[in-house]
Structure 1
Amino acid sequence: MRFPRHLPILSALVLLPLLSTCQPAGPDFEIAYEQYQLDNGLTVVLHEDRSDPVVAVAILYHVGSNREEVGKTGFAHLFEHMMFQSSQHVPEDQFFQKIQAAGGTLNGGTSNDQTIYFEVVPNNALEMALWLEADRMGYLLPTVTTEALLNQQGVVQNEKRQGVDNQPYGQTSYVIGKLLYPDGHPYNWQVIGSFEDLANATVEDVRDFFRKWYGPTNATLVIAGDYDEAQARAWVEQYFGEIAPSDPVTDPQPQNVQLAATKRAFHEDNFARSPELNMVFPTGPQYTDDAYALSMFGQLFSNGKKAPLYKVIVEEEKLAPSASGFDGSQEITGAFTIRVRAFPGTSLTEVEKGINTAFARFEEVGFTEEDLERIKAQVETGFYGGISSVLGKSFQLALYSEFGGSPGFIEEDIRNTLAVTSDDVWRVYNTYIKDKPFVLTSFVPMGQTDLVAEGSERFVIPDDPAGLESAAAGMQVPPLEPLPSAFDRNAEPAKGPVPSVTLPTVWTHSYANGLQLYGIEQNEVPLVQFSLTLTGGELRDNLDKVGVANL
């Protein structure tokens, strides 16, 4: 069957969850929440969102690799794995099976500063999700045995082999961390830790780490979505309320670093096919005036066809398909990174010259207020997009509770971003970037050291020792006695009635030219999303010009 060659637009879809502008977010922007604290110190944040019959549960523990000690690295990431295995009342591997059987999803992650676990479930499985999370917070220790430790030590070691050692550019963060941060600085080592430290860990070592950092005093629980508040509070009290309080811990203080001189290093990468250059400048902690301004500078310098870094590296010199500059401020300190993965065979000396040319261009040409407002609009849209789901809101509310002083910082954060001025951008450029020492790394394919940036020295990455035997293997450590509870936690909570879905109201409008408009209005966050759908595709291609539709 042949179709006409030319057809008018047949339909359009407009979704109205949000309305985005270039103006600073006003007082009307608000994420409503309730915050309270249990007697044992657990911070609880509730956010109601009845747009869909689902609930997100997130627990953020204020512990990452920055809480570890020299010689005992990788413990936070190790516990990310161990806490998915079993707890006193939940058999092995049942965390995933029970959530997925209920139609939900779950996962977790560890960074330098935090560990977070989450579930998104139908609202009739909220009680089960809380039961599971409470069990691994309060009743994990009896399952931290020699056998469990040996199993997860092996899992983490394999993860490092696959995700770091045998990945292109997988050692980049290791090299940068060692060059940028002095020995003993909490960001000097990697989240995944070292083989030696993991092998030397004993059962008592990891038990002590858990006792110190994974108690209610050092955590925030967020429930976001469609739930009954009174019932949710009752379940939180039932499952978490009797967990023993953990000893108070203090938040780490900023530990900024300064470089006395630029450091240049290169590494021959067995798996890389293209050379990559990283230029890294030390900065400062997150949520400061300088951090917001550095983020804006990164966008102005590298993002978009007007950006100096893009114009020089991509358009003019044709050294790489893309280039990026971004601020990586964290809890203790931060770093601003320029990263260019060049075309195969490209000299990184030329890439470095191109970056310096881009700096000179930035100083000469600068940027306009219109440029700054355009970047702010992009950042603002991305911010709202990140909190348009119940899971996204649960993450951010937990993050701001632990690191911003209050869940309400979610509103202040975007206002601080939109308040950055041109003077702020120039201030941080002159303070942290212009003529300042940096760390420069060249990762080149094996045997192509001629591509290394001029003046670089070889960085020797030590091989992981083969045949390491775990210190725990030769120790007989008795398991801990089961912990008491006021009720039978072995009984999995029954699920409630299957939730029903209430479809949103769709409004329509027809135009004289045949265009059909469909819209759904929501008011959770100030954005507009829209799509335009045309009848067409490959069926409309001429047989002798297949592929035109894709163009």
Structure 2
Amino acid sequence: MKFIKSFILILILAIVSPTIGQNNSENFSVDFETFNLENGLKVILHQDKSDPVVAVTLTAHVGSAREKEGRTGFAHLFEHLLFLESENLGKGGLDKLSARIGGSGANGSTSRDRTNYFQTVPSDALEKMIWAEADKLGFFINTVTEPVLAKEKQVVKNEKRQNIDNRPYGHTFYVVDRNLYPNDHPYNWQVIGSLEDLQNATLQDVKDFYNQWYVPNNVILTISGDFDKDQAKEWVHKYFDEIERGPEIKELEKQLVTLSESKRLYHEDNFARLPELTLTWPSVYSYHKDSFALEILANYLADGKNAPLYKKLVEEKKLTGNIDMFNYTSELAGQLMLQVRAYESKDLDSVKLAIDETFAEFEKNGIPEKDLKRIKAGLETNFYNSISSVLGKGFQLAQYEIFAKDPNFINKEVNKLLAVSAKDVLDVYNKYIQGKNFVATSFVPKDQVELALENSKKAEVIEEKIVEGAEEDFDPNQEVSFDKTPSSFDRSIEPPYYGKPELNIPEIWDKRLPSGMKIMGITNNEVPVVQFSLEMKGGQLLEKTSNAGVSHMLASIMTKGTSKKTPAELEEAIELLGASIYVNSSEEKISISGNTLAKNYAETIDLVKEILLEPRWDEKEFELIKQQTLSRIQEEKGDPNAIAQNEFKKLIYGEKSILSYNELGTPETIQNLSLEDLKNYYEENLSPLASTFLVVGAVQKNEALNPVKAISANWAPKNIDFPEIPEFDLPEKSRVYFYDVPGAKQSVFAFGAPALSAKNEDFYPAEVMNYRLGGGSFASRLTQELREGKGYTYGIRSRFMDRSYVGPFMISSGVRSNITYEAAELVRDIMKDYITTFDQKDLEVTKSYMIKSNARRFETLGAKLNMLREISDYGYDYDYIKEREQQVEELGVLEIQDLAKKYVNPDRMYYLIVGDAETQMQRLEELGYGKPILLNAEEENNN
């Protein structure tokens, strides 16, 4: 994947599969059309004219399961290569094209069994995308050269370090799969492969892999969105017809596995601060008849307060605050997984015992009908949410074609889910869990092996050593000639735009209620779903340093019952409506948000009213939340990315400001909080005068207003005193700060300084300025030079954090440890050069992207809700998108350079690095900003 995290990579089928949510409407259907080219390419077309956008997805039926031992990670490496160049688009062609046409950013994902490439673009760019995707399939492989391969190996290895090697519990799936599947099973190795195998890949390996798998008869092209079918077919034939059919590809047989004995393994995790137990049973492949009941079984056992495992492990035994259970299915086999991250110092044997007790009770009682009904009700809403974008529909149609051999399964699967009975759920439990062998992995903190399950053996985990100069050099600019693949027409000519998408800014309605609360809404009937958010200003800003974390604790307890309902009864009431309601706190607000079926909107908002105005203040739940929060704080101490985020806030805001505190609080403040403190915060700081209700979806204005009026009528207004927030100043000079994580496989960068508020008239122009610096993904200089030019990182970005007060400019990345200094130096130099080297060409690319990408801006309900949120938070005009287009048009090169000079000053900035101090800190003095300051020196001395 390009910027999709690798841990998602191993679960990607579960993410894009509609099995997690379905619709019980008899009239529901997704219309589509399929046809095949003579070379075997299957094409799926789905029209959706609700927005002027179109999603194009190219899906190859090849993943890590089609690799050879010793060449693992090949399918994923290949996914990366296909973005770099093609014969007719040229070097970086697809990414450059995406920037110019306002695309979502070309991206891809690899699973065990398929690799896909996807992008959403304004509808006028469809022919350009079909042209580009055809180049991948028929006019690509000659452009892969030794330097190209060498560089991309480094990028993929950095991805593995970032998402697996340098994070807590990152090696869990490696250990599980090596012990669940036999050595000759294609799921025995990880999708991302091993560092050694990646390094050993040769250019001939790459060419052989491409010629075997990237052929029309092994690929599906999906086009979904606003387009003319006849015209699209004509373009597909034009660009794909002459690509030759490949050799016939044999379908792999299903390879379900059994275990002759249970296996127990442990691993001392360098980054983990809490012990985690993972139990894995062999299960079934995707769309197996038992997969639907297994989905419901996992949901029932572990998800929510009514779940038996939650009641036993969280409430009764107080062993954990975090349980997850899921059925991870793939094309050939599957695995049912249960993960419990226990509290600090809890013995995992006690966790396993509690799980066994829960299972014994389930064997007697099974699943109650009301819980079966509750779980099914949630599936309908989830399904609609999964198809709210044209890209989501395209994903699912291709998924069904490959793994169910029928794209029309999108209109059938719901019936299979809804047909699951209580007996079916108990039957699959008996078939796949009761008395069956399993793999148990205990991931424990360093030097805490005693917490692992008894009789566990040490797991084999390969840990990379940090060695300076260990990576091979390459020249990304080396000129290499190649022969172009012949074609019947000149493919080097980029197709023109076709038509002109009209930007339709959604119509916003609003209302001010007598209590002072404002309501803003957008009616959209594309899917029968409503999303909403009641946003109450305050959050962390209204805390004192002595009670840091109180707003987070309050948000957590608000969904734990009401005066009329126990926590379990409230959760059940929400789920029976097919709804979700969340309460979250942030620096500036507490929000009660969620989504529901349109037909259940009024009843859902009635529950919101109950949650807000009739809190339960449950002492038992309060103590449980306190324990969970302390556990999360402890967990973050081992996560380099969380450390970077928390330490960066201290540098930006200064240790006296509440904004410098972790939003969770500190161990000391959380320990000292009482339920009375939460009540006081609630009474003093929540008011309709400082609140806005946002709603979008299939509900008319009056229908949306009526239930909210009941909230307003019963909520007494009070004035809130908001503290004065100082203007945070730039540091007088840059300094380097280092936080030591011994043995870190990457160094995490957080570079930046206070910048400006989202209310500042310069904020959007500054975002425009930042597009070519680091905000434009593959169109940005930071990505092009650190990833594409040097192979130092998997990803890097810069951004202005939007706040109503002065927020920071921030550059963030994870780079391989042994080039920490070189990467930091390069980032500094890019910032220095940007001020003087931004030119007219950069401006043209920036303007094209900023204006054309607006066609995609309001596609989903979530995007519309976010538009309302920005208007509410920062006082933007309702048509601010149009105003911004005008701003972009008027910006010139000199204005961009002035903005860079004003807000991106590398010599007045905090350079924070989280990594291995022993091998990396000393050289950072060469940056010229003095001797690095070790932030956790006292902690190091205490250890």
**TM-score normalised by the chain length of structure 1:** 0.88
**d(CA) in 1 for partners of 2:451 and 2:252?**
40
Aligned 1:148-163 pairs, distance under 5 A: 148-163=148-163
Distance (Å, rounded) in 2 between the aligned partners of 1:97 and 1:162: 26
For the Cα contact (< 8 Å) 2:511–2:519, is it kept in 1? yes
Task: Answer whether contact 1:313 1:322 (CA < 8 A) is retained.
Answer: no
Greater shift, 303-312 or 98-107, is seen at 98-107
Matched, 1:81 2:80: yes
1:58 maps to what in 2?
Answer: 57
Q: For residue 53 of structure 1, report the CA deviation from its aligned partner.
A: 0.3
Output one character per residue of 1:365-385: Cα deviation in whole Å (capped at 9) or x when no partner: 332111101101112221221
Alpha-carbon distance change, 226 to 454 in structure 1, aligned in 2, over 3 angstroms: same
1:390 aligned partner, one-letter code: V
- Counterpart mapping for 1:327-342 below 5 A: 327-342=327-342
CA distance in 2, matches of 1:541, 1:450: 43
Aligned to 2:107: 107
Q: Quick one: distance in 2 between partners of 1:260 and 1:319?
A: 30
Q: Deviations over 1:11-55 (max 9, x none)?
A: xxxxxxxxxxx9972441110001001111110011000110010
The equivalent residue for 2:502 is 500
**1:303 equivalent in structure 2:** 303
Measure, in 2, the Cα distance between the counterparts of 1:444 and 1:348.
9
- Whichever residue aligns with residue 226 of structure 2, its letter is D
The CA distance in 2 between the partners of 1:166 and 1:512, in whole Å, is 53
Structure 1 residue matching 2:322: 3-state secondary structure = coil
Structure 2 residue aligned with 1:444: 444
Alignment match, 2:871: none
Q: Which moved more, 1:388-397 or 1:508-517?
A: 508-517
* Structure 1 range deviating more: 363-372 or 113-122: 363-372
- The residue number in structure 2 matching 1:486 is 488
1:36 matched to 2:39: no
Determine the structure 1 residue equivalent to 2:135.
135
CA separation of 1:539 and 1:386: change in aligned 2, threshold 3 A: closer
C-alpha separation between the residues in 2 aligned to 1:540 and 1:402? 50
In the alignment, which residue of structure 1 is the partner of 2:651?
none
Q: Give, in angstroms, the shift of residue 68 of structure 1.
A: 0.8
Q: Shift of residue 531 of structure 1?
A: 2.3
User: 1:77 and 1:522, CA in 2 relative to 1: closer, same or farther beyond 3 A?
Assistant: same
Contact 2:22 2:383 in 1 (8 A): no
Aligned position for 2:228: 228
Q: Which moved more, 1:285-294 or 1:540-549?
A: 540-549
CA contact (8 A) 2:510 2:518 kept: no
Post-superposition CA distance 1:350-371 (Å, at most 9, x none): 1111111211222233321111
Aligned to 2:209: 209
Match of 1:522 among 525, 541, 552: 525
Residues 433-452 of structure 1 show CA distances to partners (whole Å, capped at 9, x for unaligned) of: 01111000000111111111
Q: Distance in 1 between matches of 2:366 and 2:520?
A: 42
Q: Report which stretch shifted further, 126-135 or 534-543.
A: 534-543
- Please say if 1:345 is aligned against 2:361: no
State the alpha-carbon separation in 2 of the partners of residues 221 and 64 from structure 1.
17
Deviates more, 1:25-34 or 1:332-341: 25-34
Give the whole-Å Cα distance in 2 for the aligned partners of 1:535 and 1:372: 35
The corresponding residue for 1:283 is 283
Say whether the 8 Å CA contact 2:56–2:394 is kept in structure 1. Answer: yes
Equivalent-residue separation in structure 1 for 2:263 and 2:39 (angstroms): 48
Quick check: 486-495 or 529-538, which moved more? 529-538
One-letter code aligned to 1:334: G
Contact 1:274 1:342 in 2 (8 A): yes
Q: Which amino acid aligns with 2:37?
A: L
* Offset of residue 138 of structure 1: 0.8
RMSD over aligned CA atoms reads 2.9
Distance in 2 separating the partners of 1:299 and 1:335: 15
Residues 539 and 459 (structure 1), Cα distance of their counterparts in 2 relative to 1, 3 Å cut: closer
The amino acid of 1:496's aligned partner reads Y
* Separation in 1, partners of 2:535, 2:171: 46
Shift, 1:81, TM fit = 0.7
User: Match for 2:416: what amino acid?
Assistant: N
What is the alpha-carbon distance in structure 2 between the residues aligned to residue 409 and residue 486 of structure 1? 38
Structure 1 CA distance for aligned equivalents of residues 347 and 137 of structure 2: 51
Structure 2 counterpart of 1:529, which letter? Answer: V
Q: Distance in 2 between matches of 1:119 and 1:317?
A: 47
Amino acid aligned to 2:88: H
Aligned mates of 1:108, 1:359 — CA distance in 2:
39
Cα offset, 1:231, TM superposition: 1.3
The answer (yes or no) to whether the contact 1:540–1:549 under 8 Å persists in 2 is no
Change (3 A) 1:540 1:165: closer
Higher relative contact order structure (alpha carbons within 8 Å, sequence separation ≥ 6): 1
Contact 1:383 1:414 in 2 (8 A): no
Q: Does the residue aligned with 2:311 lie in a helix, a strand or coil?
A: helix
Alpha-carbon contact 2:22-2:382 (below 8 Å) kept: no
Q: Which residue of 2 aligns with 1:13?
A: none
- In the other structure, the counterpart of 1:185 is 185
What SS does the corresponding residue of 1:289 show, helix, strand or coil? coil
The question of 1:95 aligning with 2:94 is answered yes
Distance 1:408 1:421 in 2: 24
Structure 2 SS opposite 1:489: coil
Residue 521 of structure 1 and its aligned partner are, at CA, apart by 4.5
Identity of aligned residues (%): 43
CA distances 1:203-242 after superposition (whole Å, capped 9, x unpaired): 1211111111111111111110011111111111111121
Return the letter of the residue paired with 2:30.
I
Q: Which residue of 1 aligns with 2:265?
A: 265
Q: Which moved more, 1:504-513 or 1:492-501?
A: 504-513
Q: What 5-or-longer segments of structure 1 have no aligned partner?
A: 1-21
Contact 1:145 1:479 in 2 (8 A): no
2:183 partner amino acid: D
Residue number in structure 1 paired with 2:940:
none
- Structure 2 distance, partners of 1:520, 1:546, is 34
Note the C-alpha offset of 1:496: 3.4
SS in 2 for 1:326: strand
Deviation of 1:335 (Å): 0.5
- CA offsets per residue over residues 38-96 of structure 1, 9 Å max, x none? 11111001100011001001111110000111122111011011001101112222211
Match of 2:428 in 1: 428
Give the letter aligned to residue 495 of structure 2: P
Show CA shifts across 1:173-205 (max 9, x none): 110011100111000011111233223322121
The whole-number CA distance in structure 2 between the counterparts of 1:370 and 1:288 is: 25
Alignment of 1:466-481 (within 5 A): 481=483
Contact 1:196–1:468 (8 Å) recurs in 2: no
Report the equivalent of 2:532: 531
Structure 2 residue 312 is the aligned partner of structure 1 residue 312:
yes
CA distance in 1: counterparts of 2:133 and 2:251, whole angstroms: 23
* 1:497 CA drift (Å): 4.4
SS in 2 for 1:408: helix
Higher mean alpha-carbon deviation, 170-179 vs 93-102, is at 93-102
Task: Note if contact 2:367-2:425 (Cα within 8 Å) is conserved in structure 1.
Answer: no
Structure 1 residues 459 and 107 mapped into 2: Cα distance closer, same or farther (>3 Å)?
same
Specify the SS of the correspondent of 1:268: strand
SS of 2:294's equivalent?
A: helix
Q: Distance in 2 between matches of 1:53 and 1:435?
A: 55
Distance (Å, rounded) in 2 between the aligned partners of 1:129 and 1:24: 32
Contact kept, 8 Å, 2:508 with 2:520, in 1: the verdict is: no
Aligned pairs, number: 523
Structure 2 unpaired stretches of 5+: 1-20, 545-676, 688-943
Moved more, 187-196 or 533-542: 533-542
Q: Give the TM-score normalised by the residue count of structure 2.
A: 0.53
**CA separation of 1:468 and 1:255: change in aligned 2, threshold 3 A:** farther
Name whichever structure is richer in helix by fraction: 2
1:373-412 equivalence runs, <5 A: 373-412=373-412
CA distance in structure 2 between the partners assigned to 1:170 and 1:410 by the alignment: 33
User: After superposition, what is the alpha-carbon deviation per residue over 1:442-482, rounded to whole angstroms, capped at 9, x for unaligned?
Assistant: 00111111111112111122345878898x99xxxx97531
CA 1:24 to 1:115, structure 2 compared with 1: closer, same or farther past 3 Å? closer
Contact 1:509–1:518 (CA<8 Å) still a contact in 2? no
